[in-house]
Structure 1
Amino acid sequence: MGFQPPRYPWHPPVAAREAAQVVIAGGGLVGLTLALDLARQGIASVLLDEDDTVSTGSRAICWAKRTLEIYGRLGLGARFLEKGVTWNRGRVFHGEREAYAFDLLPEQGHEYPAFVNLQQYYAEAWLAEECAASGLVDLRWRHRVAAVEHRPDGALLRVETPGGEYQLEAEWLLACDGARSPIREGMGLPFLGQVFRDRFLIADVRMHAPFPAERWFWFDPPFHPGQSVLLHKQPDDIWRIDFQLGWEADPEAERDPARVRARVAAMLGPKVSFELEWVSVYSFRCRRIERFRHGRTIFLGDAAHQVSPFGARGGNGGVQDADNLAWKLAAVLRGATPALLDSYDRERVPAAEENILNSTRSTDFITPKTAACHAWRDAVLELSAAHGFARPLVNSGRLSRPAVLADSPLSTPDAEAWGGGLPPGAPAVDAPMLRAGQPDWLLRHLGREPVLLAFAGPGVPAAEAPAGLRRVVVAADERVGTLWDHSGLAAARWGARPGDAVLLRPDQHVAARFHAPSPAAIAAARARMMGEA
């Protein structure tokens, strides 16, 4: 039967005027992720959404390794792996031949693969289930934010429902209300960036086809000459196909089922039967608002930034926004300095800029604007079949990678030289462990709170953690109460020797690292990580 969209119950307002500490506007992917992350840290929220179900169509489908690790921390990682289509390999075609293939995760020893394909509606439904089960998320379906009055101490919202409207006072308003964000528009916040003069058709197709679970991208294929096509496999025998149309294409005409079927039939051939599940036409947008935090109103996901679909940077970037903000807001609500939230802008704006840059470059390669650019692109594709130097120049969408927060004000610079490893600002890297003789994974023991990751070895004890800081010990030998780095991968990937220690943030990014650290140095780095320095 495939996916059956849920219908969530509508509940009338409790009173004509209500108040909440945290209000999240938007019950899509980012809003639900943020609500669940806050709930996992004991923070209650009210989530408002004008609809009563999840998204229609596949939309965001490619979940990157870092996003899967975030969902693993939130308790959903196993569901993504069980239901989704795992893939690490991609292939690029030019005309009728293969230009080259690539592997996004050539090394073993990670709990999660490079990518899992899964329709966005599954992710949203699971997130909504977990939010409801937490008891800390007040899910208000068919509650539309009609107007917002922004104040120094929060915001006053006018909310419309089928049973009438009410006012909701919010100490913190988190705007996850999408690309057409009414909250952003009401504040008059313009986008910086560009809209590209091209159009693409998305078709979700149900079929049994011989294609493997890989990312296939065609430049100028014989079944769609002069344009590009992207193919991804999804669960439930659903395949996602993106057809480049050109700027002159009529969006309404291209949505016509007969025209879409003709395009798909030309691609698949006469022997493959299929059904259309969902069709949409879109244009590239690579842009952002100048700042994401405006006092006590904070923007996340598409409400803050937009990128092209090629590269899987939209949904993954939005999830990483939530991952970045949730622990900081939770800390502030527990008494940390509100200045900690300034780092959300300092870290996520550069991350959005990186995504926009990569998306813009991908778009320029996929849709060259001049004859010279078109000739250069085709030459790169021709050379890539036989010459390795040309392959890095092929850009069918630089696939999502986690941001390294290189200039974060929360990071403590290295005091000593390190021979590789993970610098301050980098996201943690997983490795297989043994714990009490049972297989385990390093990242399962990191996150939600500050952690000191201490490395030990024969004759070398693990560094001590200051009072109130949880310590996780990774040992090069088997011992009681530690994680055993039996393969040596953790030490190699982190560039760590016995006696070294790494301070990690609740979002699993490195805050500081030390050779033979002192409790005073760790305490100072922890204070800086919490915005106190």
Structure 2
Amino acid sequence: MNTRKALYQFGYRRSPDQDRPTPAHHPVVVVGAGPVGLCTAIDLVQRGVPVILLDDADRIGEGSRGICYAKRTLEILDRLGVAQTCLSKGVTWKVGKVFQREELLYAFDLLPEDGHKMPAFINLQQYYLEHALVERAAQLPDLDIRWRNKATGLKPRNDGARLTVETPEGSYDLDADWVVAADGARSALRSMLGLSFTGEVFEDRFLIADVKMRGDFPTERWFWFDPPFHDGRSALLHKQPDDVWRIDLQLGPDADAKAEQAPERVLPRLRQMLGHDNFALEWVSVYTFQCRRLERFVHGRVVFVGDAAHQVSPFGARGANSGIQDAENLAWKLALVVNDAAPERLMETYEFERSAATDENIGHSTRSTDFIAPRSAQELRFRDAALALARHAPFAKRMVNSGRLSTPSTYETSLSTPDRDAWAGSARLGAPLPDAPMRDREGRPIWLLEALGGQETILYVSNGDPPPCSCRILTIGHDLIDENGFFEQRFDASPGSAYLVRPDQHLAARWRHPDSSMIERATRRLRGFDGGAA
């Protein structure tokens, strides 16, 4: 049930491609203008690749859907030009609390240290994020969004694919060197290629509701096991902008999805939880946990991202966050391949890295589901014992699983050059760089990730000698000043140290005292030219 009308609607317009006697040819066509498709398209265009973005709808804003965006996702959105819009509207939070019945078992802080531009999480209705991305896309002349253009046919070829596109004025064909399938959990492109998910669909059903009300709850994530207002089940409460609150209620495996969405069933449950009826129901849905994926994400010149490639249960905020990280991982690699700056086999590393990330997310999601909704007497006994211990024993708190929250993936692949030296600090090979407050040459404040942008870069700690290569270099102590020591601490930096940063801001290599040949081999390896050690 959806009581909110579409906030943003876009008109169909005829494309010049519809009037061509032969199919138009484009480097990349992205199918699906949700957050993942929009992020992919914007990232590619910012890297110099023109994109056609097709979507079968003409609107966004039907239900809040995804709401929870993690620090790494916000850093990606910042590079794409929309993070500040999201931060100004979203609800920032970093503290979570876990209850059993009415008793607080424990609280956790997801970002206890200072020196980061982005918060641990924000809550923001998905339609606001989508609108911010659409507005950003409109600023990019090489990004053509075509609303009410539905992909109805897909014919793969060795050098690309042909799409058939249905519009209100008839159909037309498009040829693309690459097609990115970002068309969601019910992906039409996936069906056109005869692909199916493997994995598990869990039996328990959950009610998800957006409620508009004035509330005294803090901006924290509250999760209950066996709450007094929902006996024997679990519940989750999150605050969103506009005085809207997200509520998740476990219903059990036998719940009737259609019946449970009826107001006469939903409203009494919410009154019991909230203790009053001074609220308005904005959106409600019923879902089951799903942990499923495609066996492969890259099929010739068709690449799957986001929910079209994989699905996880919503507890832990791993759906949209992992999808946007798919987009980031894909965009820089595809841009290099399209621009003939890397071999096509670089695309295999998208498959490998994001497939491993998907397995990691599915593993976390499955364990969360098993803990929240035990499927056997043995699992229930373990869950109850862990909850009982968590009241008194700190080690048991780590066993309680109300949804392990989204964290960025660390890529252990052939693109990274293994460490030769010992390193301390929080920077990890293959992981996104930790941010740090810096100052530029003129003394103006700037964040490390802002300075890096989306370019392959060497971070070099000045020791008085010239930088060890002619590639793009940011010199710590000259281009960037680490006046608070955050960089030194997080990167275990010493004079002469150098760090190779991927275009997606993951750490690809680091050395205490490199020479130009070491850096050259590592950069070739990063672009997929050389799998040997540097």
The answer to whether the Cα contact below 8 Å between 2:419 and 2:510 also exists between their aligned partners in 1 is: yes
Q: 1:455 deviation in Å?
A: 1.5
* Corresponding residue for residue 306 of structure 2: 301
In the aligned structure 2, how far is the partner of 1:123 from the partner of 1:360?
Answer: 27
1:343-358 pair list within 5 angstroms = 343-358=349-364
1:344 partner SS: helix
> In the TM superposition, what whole-angstrom CA distance separates every residue of 1:197-249 from its partner, at most 9, and x where no partner exists?
11111101100001000000011101111111111100011110011111100
* Equivalent residue for 1:321, pick from 310, 317, 326: 326
Q: Which residue of 1 aligns with 2:287?
A: 282
**Partner amino acid for 1:165?**
S
1:419 and 2:450 equivalent? Answer: no
Q: Which residue of 2 aligns with 1:431?
A: 436
Cα distance in 2 for residues equivalent to 1:269 and 1:133: 47
- Structure 2 unaligned segments of length 5 or more: list them: none
The CA distance in 1 between the partners of 2:465 and 2:266, in whole Å, is 62
Q: Which residue of structure 2 aligns with residue 370 of structure 1?
A: 376
- Residue type of the alignment partner of 1:352: T
Q: Distance in 1 between matches of 2:415 and 2:137?
A: 29
SS of 2:265's equivalent in the other structure is helix
Paired with 1:235 and 1:421, the residues of 2 have a C-alpha distance of: 33
Whole-angstrom CA distance in 1 between matches of 2:62 and 2:380: 35
**Secondary structure of the structure 2 residue equivalent to 1:80:** helix
Which among 55, 71, 74 is matched to residue 80 of structure 2?
74
Cα distance in 1, alignment partners of residues 61 and 358 from structure 2: 23
CA positional deviation for 1:105 = 0.6
Deviations 1:289-308 (A, max 9, x none): 11111110000000001000
How is 1:58-137 mapped onto 2 (pairs within 5 angstroms)? 58-137=64-143
Match of 1:478 in 2: none
Residue 269 of structure 2 is aligned to residue 263 of structure 1: yes
Measured in 1, the distance between the counterparts of 2:446 and 2:302 equals 40
Partner SS for 2:427 = coil
SS at match of 2:8: coil
Paired position in structure 2 for 1:448: 454
| Rounded Cα–Cα distance in structure 2 between residues aligned with 1:276 and 1:423 | 45
Give the secondary-structure state (helix, strand or coil) at the position aligned to 1:125.
helix
Distance in 1, matches of 2:52 and 2:80, equals 19
Partner Cα separation in structure 2 for residue 60 and residue 494 of structure 1: 34
**Which amino acid in 1 is paired with 2:453?**
G
Q: Paired residue for 2:503?
A: 506
Q: Structure 1: which 5+ runs fail to align?
A: 476-480
Distance, in Å, in 1 between the alignment partners of 2:77 and 2:52 is 21
Amino acid of the structure 2 residue aligned with 1:451: T
CA contact (8 A) 1:55 1:121 kept: yes
Residue from 485, 490, 494 that aligns with 1:488: 485
Letter in 2 for 1:326: A
Distance, in Å, in 2 between the alignment partners of 1:527 and 1:379 is: 52
AA matched with 1:304: A
1:327-386 deviations in Å (ceiling 9; x for gaps): 111111111211111110111000000000000000000000112211221121122122
Deviations 1:499-533 (A, max 9, x none): 10100011001111011111111111001000000
Q: Is the CA contact 2:184–2:307 (under 8 Å) kept in the aligned structure 1?
A: yes
- The residue aligned with 2:464 is 461
* 2:226 corresponds to 1:241: no
Q: Is the contact made by 1:463 and 1:517 (CA closer than 8 Å) also made in structure 2?
A: no
Relative to structure 1, the CA distance from residue 46 to residue 316 in structure 2 (aligned partners, 3 Å threshold; closer, same or farther) is same
> Which amino acid is 1:503 matched to?
L
CA-to-aligned-CA distance 1:175-213 (integer Å, 9 cap, x gap): 001011111112122212100011111101100001000
Partner of 1:497: 494
* Residue identity in the other structure for 2:480: L
Q: Is the 8 A contact 2:461 2:494 kept in 1?
A: yes
Task: Kindly state the Cα deviation for residue 415 of structure 1 after the two structures are TM-superposed.
Answer: 2.1
- Answer yes or no: is 1:527 the counterpart of 2:524: yes
State the Cα RMSD in Å: 1.4
SS of the residue aligned with 2:361? helix
Q: Residue in 2 aligned with 1:5?
A: 7
Residues 120-167 of structure 1, C-alpha deviations (whole Å, 9 max, x = no match):
111111111111111111100000011111111111111111111111
Q: Please state if 1:332 is matched with 2:329.
A: no
Please tell me the residue identity of whatever aligns with 1:328. K
TM-score, scaled relative to structure 1: 0.96
Please report the TM-score for the alignment, with normalisation by the length of structure 2: 0.95
CA distance in 2, matches of 1:318, 1:282: 19
2:407 is the counterpart of 1:410 = no
SS in 2 for 1:484: coil
Matches within 5 A, 1:26-65: 26-65=32-71
Q: Would you say the 8 A contact 2:31–2:181 is kept in 1? A: yes
Asked whether the 8 Å contact 1:463–1:500 carries over to 2, the reply is no
Whether contact under 8 Å (1:421, 1:496) holds in the other structure is no
Displacement, 1:462? 6.3
1:452–1:465 contact (8 Å) kept in structure 2: no
* Counterparts of 1:48 and 1:482, CA distance in 2: 41
CA contact (8 A) 2:439 2:446 kept: yes
Contact 1:462 1:473 in 2 (8 A): no
Residue aligned with 1:523, SS = helix
Q: Is 1:174 aligned with 2:180? A: yes
**Do the aligned residues in 2 keep the contact of 1:228 with 1:243 (CA within 8 Å)?**
yes
1:70 aligns to what SS in structure 2?
A: helix
**1:472 corresponds to 2:474:** yes
1:258 deviation in Å?
A: 2.1
Cα distance between partner residues in 1 of 2:280 and 2:32: 31
In 2: Cα distance, 1:523 partner to 1:463 partner = 16
- Which secondary structure does the structure 2 equivalent of 1:365 belong to? helix
Give the match's secondary structure for 1:221: coil
2:511 is matched by which residue type in structure 1? F
Which stretch of the first structure deviates more once superposed, 213-222 or 74-83? 74-83
Using the TM superposition, give the Cα deviation of residue 67 of structure 1 relative to its aligned residue in structure 2, in angstroms: 0.3
Corresponding residue to 2:512 among 510, 515, 518: 515
Pick closer, same or farther for the CA change 1:215–1:85 going to 2, 3 Å.
same
Shift of 1:112: 0.7
**8 Å Cα contact 2:203-2:253 kept in structure 1:** yes
Q: CA deviation at 1:96?
A: 1.5
Residue from 194, 212, 217 that aligns with 1:211? 217
Conservation of the 8 A alpha-carbon contact between 1:454 and 1:471: yes
Candidates 395, 398, 407, aligned match of 1:392: 398
1:63-104 alpha-carbon deviations (Å, 9 max, x no partner)? 000000001111112112111100000000101111111101
Residue 326 to residue 484, structure 1, CA distance change in 2 (3 Å): same
Between the aligned partners of 1:375 and 1:427, the Cα distance in structure 2 is: 38
